[in-house]
Structure 1
């Protein structure tokens, strides 16, 4: 529903919108209606959409004409596909030449493979290079110690690179040109929400300052050094560009609209005498910014005056380039902001928090701004070197001109963003919380360490999560590993509590100065800190944030801050624990997380994780070089990857698009292809097993009481299931299955469900099989019942025919919520505990009542073998579902 005459309303808590003097009451809106507001300069009125009609981003054109031969200048499609495969496989020149020769000897004359040699292939790549902007080489020269030093900087001019996408007929349709404020009606008021960068206040503020009808062109820039090889000292320094106005699945994807390397910064060699010297550090920072000046030179003027450009959809737009997002780890953020790092008086590149106050997340500090920092810099230029250095120390700034000051709407302190990867997984958790946990376990002795690793290995597996056989005695290089450990480590907390009770005499011996057992409370508070961190990390991972989730996250930040302060103050054993400094930038940075979400959307918009993945192909390209001349070969390889992506996407579009001389294309099903998968609404059953007679089922597992009276129980269940769907029972009588009747087993279930976080369709892939990757796997699920949602473990999944209809059935082992008061430990550590019924109490359910999968960890404590902990950290949807199921943690 489009309400074209509504004016934008900033307040999100109004009960109606004013339309020409008339107030629309809340009763005229449906629950979950979406309101979209635009900046005044767009000339667009606010819109109200019913939830099911709302489309995020831009609608895609139904059909965009594609070149008949998009593989050109390769002479044939097979030539290109050969070149593409060889490029992906990173084959050497010699290997490619040999393969071409082999193909020619094997093929028949009717084939169109025309490549004759590696030189011929290389010429094709050269001829195709025009399809995307090529790298250029610039000389960056600055004085150091009164002597000029020059370095090579390779870059793609950023405006030409932008034109590659702006003139692409498919990609242009995906750009969102206007900032939006989105709200969802909850029955009484409009609740604002954020997801993509254009839903934040940053792009809104930029667009409100532009001429009427003008559009921002918002850049995302990432930079970071990386080791090109573990056995050599070579390093690369890529700059990655993304476009903030493309949807996240495109922007963070690997296609043409995803991230691309646009720069290769010089890595400045340094002598032992230079390392750490303020003058040399300033020189390296100056080279970085002078290189970036070269990269951004093509848009500097346009950021102030704008530029008219005819885009690929035929629309001429007035565009103003701006840097909306800078994505980097802390060290690189300091280079971007030209601050002095973690040891300076004011180490935060975003605000002016004193070094000693980074520990305190309850306080707010003045924000840095480009205008203020530029004034400080200009004032320092009027002083002598010593006075200027002392003056700039008071704000933690370097005496170097910042490249982003040349651009309009590109304040680096606003653009710098919370980095979940390095602030959490590769920072606070890996270097502080996890190390503290390791120290605690190590103090309990080798037997305890082995037991912890053994029980970690016993945790059930889950798609997308690393499984660890060892964790407590190991360190990792990959931040993703630490992320996954943080998700699954908390069941070990229960083990830890058990160990404290079982091994207290050993602990007491190690910390003999503790007289009272209650003195070990510091460990309990640490576990509360760990849990609070996990809560914060889950809030940080949300794909959509609302005013309510923002408020909950803010409350958790203060809770974490309070617990950490308490933990630090508590006495700990002497000589056992490393004295950790908790006043450090990565801890402080979470204080800016919510500001970033409100300004630039959710954290996945600027998490460095997605850009760090782009290091891998650069490292692979390095291995193809002679290890002496490396920069140009690596960038040539990167350019070919970009060219191949363009051609591949055109070919894929050609394969699914109507031919130029046809309006319609008929798709015939493949003959002879048999599938055993079956769908029932939101579930799909696959990995079909045997067709089994009911009498065989009971005999197949006589020792498993879950299968006892299977035939009788199934008959009873079907007799109640059909009437629930208003289906008449055959003959009007209760169903009585015969022992010879058969069911079809399925060992895989795909469940689709709507995420409670982003309201999009999500998928769980579940297993119910005696052998998956050489181990039994019976996943757990959430089931919708007449008495509410329950957890259960899958035992057997199958289809059963009644009359001419097939029904998806699952035999499950239900879990009940514990009765009586909630345990103090569960409440303090936010454990969601359930208790398994016996196997003999297994029940049949309609498999369509499965809401989604669930990961449950056994309680390893003696006497609680039938109890499990629901792992709410497996994903954001599960986290929020359990918040609703158990509102009091």
Structure 2
């Protein structure tokens, strides 16, 4: 009872404090916004100095206690005359209800109106040529909720994702409907019964290793299944069932002709003859081991059986115009392959292509082949390697095909290597003279293109020209034309495919830039080279290769003879006939343009890894203590969801670090390096890391607008300039190899020397060392004359042409490596590739069975799958999810008693009064409500004095690329921070977000006056305050800095802790400690609190906001994220201004495809008699509305190249308008 009275007394005392604050109110007795101007020079009468570890005196303000002092910043950030609005109580800055108004579920495209002439499924494919009327009128859909709309070249037959706006969030809801009802017996054929199917599924699809989960699967999904009967297994030959399953892969779809399946293809290479042997017949050697299948079989299977909601047959351009902004100009969007300029261009061309069957009237579409290949090592402790060629289709949404489990990536071939036995064969042909390395390199190139010649066979070339007829999965028969859109590979493989020299004078596979100019990214000369000197697969190129091959194969010249070098060296070509040239050359397909950028190898494992190595070398100039501190800092960086994982013990050594680890290091490196580099490099390195992290985030965006591409273009120039400047800066320092690099180099040299001495039949000395000058460590510089650095300048153009980089990243192929390693582990290691392809067939059939059975089960029960509450809240549009059950283990039975028991903790000193004040505002709907006063706070009660705590809060949100996502926050972690919006009427100089550390997640049933009890969820937080003395952002190239409130009196405590509504949380946020400032006990002196960052009773002096932690967070700070819904006209997004230079197509080939309506930004609403766009189900563009979109003839190649520049080349004003 005494404790209760004490708590009640504290509540009354707190109310008196609130009354003093409320005396300033002048709006209906409500709570006033206590705004005041903060400046370090204002109001010096209150001077409670706080000192940090170095004794610096804090700024003096009457109401704001500064955090422990920090080391001086090299560049002073704040001008005392420049003032910013500052509110002591962070709760009053939070934009209440912002999430409710600005968050929206993903919205699908608007439906099509019934066409005048319906296209009948599986219609007759022949009619008189005169009856075939091309569909040439453009078609535009009306905008969706977010302001997106589509522009088709003609009215589409179908819109696959019409009723599936969240197809990528929960694909189980969107299984492809069965074309016709199938029985279970027919689905599982050739398995004789369900028991055999269950056993086969467990064996082939449930992994190769035994585990507890595998045992549970065996019991639950096999032995306990209703259809399982042990008697059904008697007499069943499972190996014969395996053979039947492998054979069934060739006849899975009855609407397609039987597939040829996997086959062994022998390859024959011609070996150049010596001059003395020209009279002899040409030499040929046979290479075995190519295991491949028909590309057309893969195309037929994909188009006849795919996931309808995510598979697009007709490409379109996509545009964005912010809702309720009639004066804004629409912007083109860049994302999916089927919205790219490249696919729209080839789709339009096939509509008018002349084919052998002139009477065919079937609708035409493009099969957008996307290839990827890379070598893999099948086992960790084995030297056996593989080289699969993978293909997938740009018609499929990237959000689906990028998943390794989506089964949309197909192995087309397994590339053999040049066998060692070929050396003996050539030695025999050359009368005992062994081949040199140049000849073997030439034969490896010949082998690669012999493989692609086998894949691009005559049947494929004929389909390229005339298409093939396929009954597609949506029930419409189409003529499908294969087209190669992209080829994703690392640089050594790009060199093979482009038939150029590895690291030659012209080292780029896409343009003719000279190696000494590779470092000049972003300069005018570099841009002109990319634009006007790109490689072309034309007659001039073919003539050079033919002449070189004539010199080698007819005249007996050596591969590297002077005559051959004089012919090819200038442009770094090699004397190998490119297999892709047979597809039509420059007019139809240019292999050089298809070799897209590769962020995995070129940036994360390329430029960034090189820069990181150089920075680590600079750390070693400070000694081992500096390196140890650097590693310690990385170990102290907290993880963040699935984006940032815990770092290794020794980051500086870079031992066993994968590409994604280098990505994490880049995103978190700024605080880790701060203050550890040499003084002359510290600040430049901080700026460089900031620019690089921003560039990296922009390069990985999954959805670009014209404005973000303008930012990205400017940022590329800025990054290249910063890297060149940093390289020049560090040349004056004595930067040497790290000890680890030196040891590895010595080991390689010793191994190479041992091999060399063995070759010349000399004994290797037992103890011989390589002489070095000084300590033996080489001087190192930051080399930028590389292809990987040069490739940075191609990202904007590639995104403009093919969509965003995640669509064709080599990571898609790398993730498939697990699949091939698992297949290899099941083989007996003899003729492993043949066994692997057989396993691939078996597993693909079983997965088809599994999917069909799942769909049949859903259809029979007519019920959606049962989802967890968290998933329900995600899809239902709820802003958050907290457990709904009142579990006894989570209950606090008496809140007043609990508060008194924790009276020693400052964070709970005013827990109840602050909670009731927060709840009263929510009960009344607003803190400005007339009833919101201190007397009514006492009327707020918790039912039965009970409260329930929760360990997890899940925040649901729609990401910038309009996907539904979820963050998980756990107050049990000491690093649990939330991001909240500020009020709409904030000062322009005020930071747009509020940050809070979550201390507890609770719910309780609340009673007020005579109202019935109602459940409320609330979050107990500790506020973090923005450091305006050291501002961050794009302009300063610095991270935003935060600190806690110093708690010296009751008012400080009230300003340090509070409650928030979970629905006001935008997202979880990643804060990285300011390691240079260190830890301090000064924020909560003389008390131990569970609000502390560390159990020893200390806090980090400051935090940095990691705005680069993921793409969505980056777009929150850049602005203009389409999924960050902005419904009110007063709210602006990046690029939505009147000075934009009009809506242009994304690398469009025909500027006239859009009418004047879109360029003016007025839309069909100009005519008063017509319904607004938001109410129209579709919009067929015609002369009544705007200009008709017509395609009169095909543009020339020069026009295409010029118009490919239109989106960015004329947008210098955008770069000026956007502030970094």
Q: Tell me if structure 1 keeps the 8 A contact 2:266–2:288.
A: yes
Cα distance change on mapping 1:667 and 1:605 into 2, 3 Å: closer
> 1:743: which partner in 2?
947
1:287-306 pair list within 5 angstroms: 287-297=447-457, 298-306=459-467
Is residue 333 of structure 2 the alignment partner of residue 193 of structure 1?
yes
1:384-403 pair list within 5 angstroms: 385=557, 386=561, 387-403=563-579
Partner of residue 156 from structure 1, selected from 293, 304, 317: 293
Partner of residue 828 from structure 2, selected from 619, 626, 645: 626
Is residue 899 of structure 2 the alignment partner of residue 698 of structure 1?
yes
Q: Deviations over 1:777-808 (max 9, x none)?
A: 44111123535631111111111212331111
Q: Tell me if structure 2 keeps the 8 A contact 1:441–1:472.
A: no
Is residue 998 of structure 2 the alignment partner of residue 819 of structure 1?
no
Partner of residue 495 from structure 2, selected from 314, 334, 338: 334
Shift of 1:332: 1.0
Cα distance change on mapping 1:678 and 1:100 into 2, 3 Å: closer
Aligned partners of 1:819, 1:674: CA distance in 2, in Å?
Answer: 41
Shift of 1:712: 1.7
Normalized against structure 2, the TM-score is what?
A: 0.62
Aligned partners of 1:877, 1:102: CA distance in 2, in Å?
Answer: 41
Cα distance change on mapping 1:611 and 1:106 into 2, 3 Å: closer
Q: CA RMSD in A?
A: 4.0
Is residue 189 of structure 2 the alignment partner of residue 67 of structure 1?
no
> 1:85: which partner in 2?
202
> 2:414: which partner in 1?
264
Aligned partners of 1:101, 1:199: CA distance in 2, in Å?
Answer: 44
Is residue 737 of structure 2 the alignment partner of residue 529 of structure 1?
no
Consecutive unaligned residues of structure 2, counting only runs of 5 or more, are 1-109, 116-139, 251-260, 273-282, 353-362, 424-433, 737-778, 987-991, 1007-1011, 1048-1052, 1080-1099, 1121-1133, 1135-1217
Partner of residue 151 from structure 2, selected from 16, 19, 37: 37
Q: Tell me if structure 2 keeps the 8 A contact 1:695–1:740.
A: no
Q: Tell me if structure 1 keeps the 8 A contact 2:969–2:976.
A: yes
Q: Tell me if structure 1 keeps the 8 A contact 2:175–2:307.
A: no
Aligned partners of 1:580, 1:462: CA distance in 2, in Å?
Answer: 31
Q: Tell me if structure 1 keeps the 8 A contact 2:311–2:397.
A: yes
Aligned partners of 2:591, 2:225: CA distance in 1, in Å?
Answer: 60
Tell me whether 396-405 or 632-641 shows the greater mean CA deviation: 632-641
Q: Deviations over 1:466-492 (max 9, x none)?
A: 211421233335212211222222220
Shift of 1:581: 2.1
Q: Tell me if structure 2 keeps the 8 A contact 1:433–1:530.
A: no
Partner of residue 384 from structure 2, selected from 234, 240, 244: 234
Tell me whether 139-148 or 851-860 shows the greater mean CA deviation: 139-148
Shift of 1:883: 2.6
> 1:607: which partner in 2?
809
SS at match of 1:240: strand
> 1:378: which partner in 2?
546
1:20-419 pair list within 5 angstroms: 32-39=146-153, 42=154, 63-64=177-178, 65=180, 67-69=182-184, 70-89=187-206, 111-113=228-230, 116=233, 120-133=237-250, 134-144=261-271, 146-168=283-305, 170-171=306-307, 174-186=310-322, 187=325, 188-212=328-352, 213-255=363-405, 257-270=407-420, 277-297=437-457, 298-342=459-503, 344-362=504-522, 363-364=526-527, 365=529, 366-371=533-538, 373-383=541-551, 385=557, 386=561, 387-408=563-584, 409-419=588-598
> 1:792: which partner in 2?
996
Shift of 1:573: 2.1
Aligned partners of 1:593, 1:616: CA distance in 2, in Å?
Answer: 28
Aligned partners of 2:836, 2:484: CA distance in 1, in Å?
Answer: 27
Q: Deviations over 1:532-573 (max 9, x none)?
A: 221111001101011111010111110011111212222432
Partner of residue 630 from structure 2, selected from 445, 452, 462: 452
> 2:1067: which partner in 1?
852
> 1:9: which partner in 2?
none
> 1:881: which partner in 2?
1116
SS at match of 1:762: strand
Shift of 1:720: 1.6
Cα distance change on mapping 1:135 and 1:603 into 2, 3 Å: same
Cα distance change on mapping 1:460 and 1:311 into 2, 3 Å: same
Normalized against structure 1, the TM-score is what?
A: 0.84
Q: Tell me if structure 2 keeps the 8 A contact 1:695–1:739.
A: no
Tell me whether 378-387 or 414-423 shows the greater mean CA deviation: 378-387
Aligned partners of 1:421, 1:525: CA distance in 2, in Å?
Answer: 25
Is residue 1049 of structure 2 the alignment partner of residue 834 of structure 1?
no
Is residue 710 of structure 2 the alignment partner of residue 574 of structure 1?
no
Cα distance change on mapping 1:43 and 1:395 into 2, 3 Å: farther
Q: Tell me if structure 1 keeps the 8 A contact 2:942–2:1005.
A: no
SS at match of 1:450: helix
Q: Deviations over 1:269-291 (max 9, x none)?
A: 34898898222112111111111
Partner of residue 916 from structure 2, selected from 703, 709, 715: 715
Aligned partners of 1:311, 1:45: CA distance in 2, in Å?
Answer: 12
Q: Deviations over 1:629-662 (max 9, x none)?
A: 3221222222222222222221222222x23xxx
Aligned partners of 1:71, 1:782: CA distance in 2, in Å?
Answer: 50
Is residue 850 of structure 2 the alignment partner of residue 648 of structure 1?
yes
Cα distance change on mapping 1:822 and 1:785 into 2, 3 Å: closer
SS at match of 1:812: strand
Aligned partners of 1:675, 1:581: CA distance in 2, in Å?
Answer: 50
Is residue 637 of structure 2 the alignment partner of residue 435 of structure 1?
no
Cα distance change on mapping 1:654 and 1:474 into 2, 3 Å: same
Tell me whether 877-886 or 146-155 shows the greater mean CA deviation: 877-886
SS at match of 2:404: coil
Aligned partners of 2:994, 2:319: CA distance in 1, in Å?
Answer: 32
Cα distance change on mapping 1:79 and 1:410 into 2, 3 Å: farther
Cα distance change on mapping 1:113 and 1:284 into 2, 3 Å: farther
Cα distance change on mapping 1:262 and 1:821 into 2, 3 Å: closer
Aligned partners of 2:999, 2:241: CA distance in 1, in Å?
Answer: 57
> 1:515: which partner in 2?
none
Consecutive unaligned residues of structure 1, counting only runs of 5 or more, are 7-23, 501-506, 508-519, 770-775
Cα distance change on mapping 1:308 and 1:110 into 2, 3 Å: closer
> 2:766: which partner in 1?
none
> 1:593: which partner in 2?
795
Aligned partners of 1:92, 1:763: CA distance in 2, in Å?
Answer: 32
SS at match of 1:370: coil
Higher relative contact order (CA 8 A, sep 6+): 2
Q: Tell me if structure 1 keeps the 8 A contact 2:1031–2:1040.
A: no
Aligned partners of 1:880, 1:102: CA distance in 2, in Å?
Answer: 47
Aligned partners of 1:483, 1:217: CA distance in 2, in Å?
Answer: 33
Shift of 1:604: 0.6
SS at match of 2:571: coil
Partner of residue 1015 from structure 2, selected from 797, 802, 806: 806
Cα distance change on mapping 1:483 and 1:62 into 2, 3 Å: closer
Aligned length: 822
Structure number, greater radius of gyration? 2
Shift of 1:377: 2.0
Aligned partners of 2:891, 2:705: CA distance in 1, in Å?
Answer: 49
Q: Deviations over 1:566-609 (max 9, x none)?
A: 12222432363523321111111121111111111100111011
Aligned partners of 1:381, 1:854: CA distance in 2, in Å?
Answer: 60
More strand by share: 1
Q: Tell me if structure 2 keeps the 8 A contact 1:76–1:112.
A: no
Cα distance change on mapping 1:861 and 1:61 into 2, 3 Å: closer
Q: Tell me if structure 1 keeps the 8 A contact 2:621–2:735.
A: no
Q: Deviations over 1:193-250 (max 9, x none)?
A: 1110011111122122213442111101111111112322211010111011011122
